[in-house]
Amino acid sequence: MKHIFPLFAFALAALVSCGGNNGEPVNVSVVPNPVSIEYGGRGLKMKQAGWIPAVRTSIDSGLAAEEYILDTRKGKVVIKGGSDAGVFWGMQTLYQILAQVENKGLDRIPGVLIKDKPAFSYRGAHLDCCRHFFSVEEVKTYIDMLALHKINVFHWHLTEDQGWRAEIKRYPKLTEIGSVRSETLVGHYGSDEYDGTPYGGFYTQDEMRDVVAYAAERFITVIPEIEMPGHASAALASYPELGCRGAGYPYKVQTTWGVFPEVFCAGNPETVTFLENVLDEICDIFPSEYIHIGGDEAPRDEWEKCPKCQALMKEKGFTREAELQSYLITTIEKYLAGKGRKIIGWDEILDGGVSQSATVMSWRGAKGGIEAAKMGNDVIMTPNSHFYLDYYQTGNPKENGEPLGIGGNLPLRKCYSFDPFDQLNDEEKAHIKGIQANMWTEYVATFDHVQHMTLPRLAALAEVAWSNDNRTDYDGFVDRIITGLMPIYNTRGYNYAGYAFKDIE
């Protein structure tokens, strides 16, 4: 636990000061909602402004890995965890309690016994660093935001039509050419205005390793996403011979948003070699059990016309291009399995058949996830209906002064209402491994804006993913965010959507 405490020392010093409880019983607010909170005992008297309570931590092998018990009843702070991760999540809870003590001007940390563990082992948040690029420092701040909410997976979207962001040493053109677009659309899709300014950025391998290490210190796994066979324009602008139109075609890093016909040529063996070589380097950087291979929004029109793709289909006896997509994904899945890794793919990987060992990320609502769970596949639920954080937070974004979003209407209440087990029996429920929120950034160009879109809705994601079994009171949830999390958002300078707490139309 040596590495945990220093992360907190300064923060606690800044937060804790003296005040008066005036003998009033004080409840504590924690998000995500713990399994149980019992009040009792004397708690701890705050000694002086800036006093840091000693935290006695230990590992209890009787607890599940991420489970913890936080006890402040007997004049000291004791945290037991099933592992270092459990202790770390207990520290996040303590951190919220101390923020409340400071914010309410109390002179005691209340006496509590909190017993807590997560409902889901995978609690994820994604960030698209391709449509817009975010610096390593900003990515680390995002990881800090996840840790505060007990989110333990950072899904890092690294390749796209509009920019390839991961340095791959064997293919330097991916970043020399693929990381820069010539300009960017201004305003919404459909606009014909462009800013005329080149836009780019990428992460070196050392920087990605640094992010992985930073996340690991916070018990967060980084899952990289390398998109295939679609969303490949930036890769094809760099290596046009890997597309169906071949080396002579002027592929470009896209300057607008949407779904593009330019996809990797699945019939070209060099494409598979390329993808495998890229994944070799990715696996070297990212130790995660899972690698995300994309699979979404890949039009098959080019495959229909491509001699190489058609020849491979004939050889394999495929009658539909969807089978070709399935073949490519399965080939890559087997390759990664040889390296001890598993794949996650967006729900389109169900088209044309998917192997039982692939994990399906359900984004077009929960439908794909329900279908996959019924087929016996593992599922991560990231339905756009509930967890696409690029959607607006009210029904009247203009009138309410919301910054640009992609569209939609996804208020905090709706995020909170998601039922991960809808339509599933007990056996199928066991395949729902986790829940995730996605932060696509076509319309979100600054990190301040990312925070505005993610906070406080990330709290609802946390509440579903960690506290699914203890989630019945929306108004109480909002109160807990305001009391337990908002003081921390304020102290850390996180931007958040204040209007999201109110049920405004």
Q: Which residues bind to Zn ion, rule: CB under 5 A?
A: 244, 265, 267, 306, 308-309
DSSP 404: P
Chain Cα centroid distance, residue 500: 20
Q: Which of 107, 297, 402, 428 forms a contact with ligand ACM (CB under 6 A)?
A: 297
Q: Which two tokens stand for residue 452?
A: 């505005």
Count of residues engaged in binding ligand ACM, rule: CB under 6 A:
4
Shortest Cβ 364–ligand ACM spacing (Å): 8
- 346 makes contact, choosing from ligand ACM, Zn ion, none, with CB < 5 to 8 Å by partner type, with ligand ACM
Residue 435: closest CA among 407, 477, 473, 471: 471
Q: Kindly provide the residue ranges of all beta strands, DSSP E only, lying in 285-407, ordered along the sequence.
A: 290-294, 342-346, 359-362, 379-381
What is the rounded distance in angstroms from the CA atom of residue 389 to the CA atom of residue 409?
Answer: 10
Per-residue contact track with ligand ACM, 251 to 290, x per CB under 6 A? ----------------------------------------
Comparison of 312 and 360: residue with beta carbon closer to Zn ion: 312
Shortest Cβ 447–ligand ACM spacing (Å): 20
Q: Which two tokens stand for residue 308?
A: 């190489």
- 363 makes contact, choosing from ligand ACM, Zn ion, none, with CB < 5 to 8 Å by partner type, with ligand ACM
Residue 269: closest CA among 328, 353, 316: 328
Shortest Cβ 277–Zn ion spacing (Å): 19
Shortest Cβ 332–ligand ACM spacing (Å): 17
- 120 makes contact, choosing from Zn ion, ligand ACM, none, with CB < 5 to 8 Å by partner type, with none
Shortest Cβ 360–ligand ACM spacing (Å): 12
Comparison of 141 and 436: residue with beta carbon closer to ligand ACM: 436
- 296 makes contact, choosing from Zn ion, ligand ACM, none, with CB < 5 to 8 Å by partner type, with ligand ACM
Shortest Cβ 488–ligand ACM spacing (Å): 30
Phi/psi for 248 (5° steps) reads: -80, -10
Comparison of 129 and 265: residue with beta carbon closer to Zn ion: 265
Comparison of 327 and 346: residue with beta carbon closer to ligand ACM: 346
My answer on whether omega of the bond before 456 falls inside 30° of 0, hence cis, is yes
Comparison of 144 and 241: residue with beta carbon closer to Zn ion: 241
- 139 makes contact, choosing from ligand ACM, Zn ion, none, with CB < 5 to 8 Å by partner type, with none
Chain Cα centroid distance, residue 88: 19
Shortest Cβ 271–Zn ion spacing (Å): 8
- 244 makes contact, choosing from ligand ACM, Zn ion, none, with CB < 5 to 8 Å by partner type, with Zn ion
CA dihedral sign, ordered 73, 95, 89, 58: negative
What is the rounded distance in angstroms from the CA atom of residue 407 to the CA atom of residue 392?
Answer: 6
Residue 361's alpha-carbon distances to 294, 344, 432, 458, in angstroms, are: 9, 7, 10, 18
Is 296 an interacting residue with respect to ligand ACM (CB under 6 A)? yes
Contacts for 331-335: CB closer than 8 Å, 24+ residues apart: 331/272, 332/228, 332/272, 332/275, 332/276, 332/279, 332/293, 333/293, 333/357, 333/358, 335/276, 335/279
- 297 makes contact, choosing from ligand ACM, Zn ion, none, with CB < 5 to 8 Å by partner type, with ligand ACM
Shortest Cβ 256–Zn ion spacing (Å): 24
Shortest Cβ 438–ligand ACM spacing (Å): 7
Q: Which of 8, 122, 239, 363 forms a contact with ligand ACM (CB under 6 A)?
A: 363
Shortest Cβ 262–Zn ion spacing (Å): 11
Comparison of 297 and 371: residue with beta carbon closer to ligand ACM: 297
359 beta partners: 344
At residue 224, the 3 state secondary structure works out as: strand
Shortest Cβ 297–ligand ACM spacing (Å): 5
Comparison of 210 and 241: residue with beta carbon closer to Zn ion: 241
- 309 makes contact, choosing from Zn ion, ligand ACM, none, with CB < 5 to 8 Å by partner type, with Zn ion
- 481 makes contact, choosing from Zn ion, ligand ACM, none, with CB < 5 to 8 Å by partner type, with none
What is the rounded distance in angstroms from the CA atom of residue 36 to the CA atom of residue 72?
Answer: 14
DSSP 484: I
- 308 makes contact, choosing from ligand ACM, Zn ion, none, with CB < 5 to 8 Å by partner type, with Zn ion
Residue 190: closest CA among 407, 389, 392: 407
- 458 makes contact, choosing from Zn ion, ligand ACM, none, with CB < 5 to 8 Å by partner type, with none
How far from each other are the two terminal CA atoms of the chain, in whole angstroms?
A: 46
Q: 271 and 335 in contact (C-beta within 8 Å)?
A: no
Q: Which of residues 381-400 bind ligand ACM (CB under 6 A)?
A: none
CA dihedral sign, ordered 429, 431, 434, 437: negative
How many degrees, rounded to 5, is the angle at CA 128 between CA 368 and CA 174?
110
Comparison of 76 and 364: residue with beta carbon closer to ligand ACM: 364
- Which residues form the interface with ligand ACM (CB under 6 A)? 296-297, 346, 363
